Amino acid sequence: MNVQLERIKMNDVVLHVAEAGPKHGRLVILLHGFPEYWEAWEGYFEPLVAAGYHVVAPDQRGYNLSDKPSKVAAYDLNALAVDVLGLADHFGQRCFTVVGHDWGGLVGWWIATCHAQRLEQLVLLNAPHPSIWREAMRSHPEQRRRSWYVSFFRLPWLPEALLRRRRFKALADTISQRARPDAVTAAALDRYRAAWREPGALTGMLNWYRAIWRTNLPPSSELRFITPVLLIWGEQDAFGVRALAEGSLRLCENGQAIYLQDATHWVQHDEPERCVKALLDFLGHSIRRSPSE
């Protein structure tokens, strides 16, 4: 299978994008989270393309080979969502599906919140709605404990300095905490380190955390989604409690959840076969909205 790598200019940034599959196929945009990049979805291209989908996976702004604006405001959820809309426009598609893990899922939720008419389906992997997450940070002591690092990441320059130490050991350890001991090879870790080493990358990645506290998020009580939603949740997530998933799902009129008992936050790596099957089943059978709804 041929995965093409290209740089695409949209809005105020240039994104590095991996693309495969038939141009006429339904567009599926795969959004990675922190601290990954487009290769987080490497094993998902082949089954999706074989099923006839046009698959696009960007390095999101601030990551790897994409542009890295210096200002925190450039990482507001609105800007991140517009990047995804711009990708769909570039490929000539009004409507599309988002599959997002971690921060990539939060971007997907925000598209469903602000641009629902563009979204056919939404698949989240260990990614709550940002309003649910921020409310839990105020009211759920265990979630505050698990997200202790979020407050640290808000500090200027110090997080970058510490994360850079010992060849990015803290980041390497984080992505290695998966259910499968052999899930991250030495070669893959080297590619991650190369992405983190890109000029401005650490600051760009951390600016996502800095910006979320400045974003005006609606109360979850005001939210209701009719876009079909599939939420896949690894129950051994060290960073998020299951209540985040349950609260997010309650916002959906057409939502379903799959809880994987032995999977971690890195559910798409821990259980790739089950995630791929669930994804393909959902894309093929869930009720799709028309753009006029």
Q: What's the rounded Cα separation, in Å, for the pair 152 and 51?
A: 42
Say if residues 11 and 86 touch (Cβ distance below 8 Å): yes
Active-site residue identified among 59, 67, 76, 102: 102
Active-site residue identified among 67, 83, 209, 269: 209
Q: Whose structure tokens read 């997450």?
A: 133
Q: What's the rounded Cα separation, in Å, for the pair 238 and 256?
A: 22
SS3 of residue 97 by DSSP: strand
| Residues 118-134: b if buried by 16+ CB within 10 A, e if exposed | bbbbbbbbbbbbbbbbb
Q: Give yes or no: 102 in active site.
A: yes
Which of 222, 97, 225, 202 minimizes the C-alpha distance to 155? 202
SS3 of residue 95 by DSSP: coil
CB under 8 Å to 215, separation ≥6 — which residues?
Answer: 76, 77, 78, 130
Q: What's the rounded Cα separation, in Å, for the pair 267 and 154?
A: 26
Backbone angles phi, psi at 3, to 5 degrees: -100, 120
| DSSP label at residue 200 | T
248, containing H or E segment:
helix 242-249
Which of 57, 109, 88, 51 minimizes the C-alpha distance to 230? 109
Active-site residue identified among 101, 265, 269, 270: 265
Q: Give yes or no: 209 in active site.
A: yes
Q: 96 has which bridge partners?
A: 119
Token readout for 85 is 């809309």
What is the set of active-site residues? 102, 209, 265
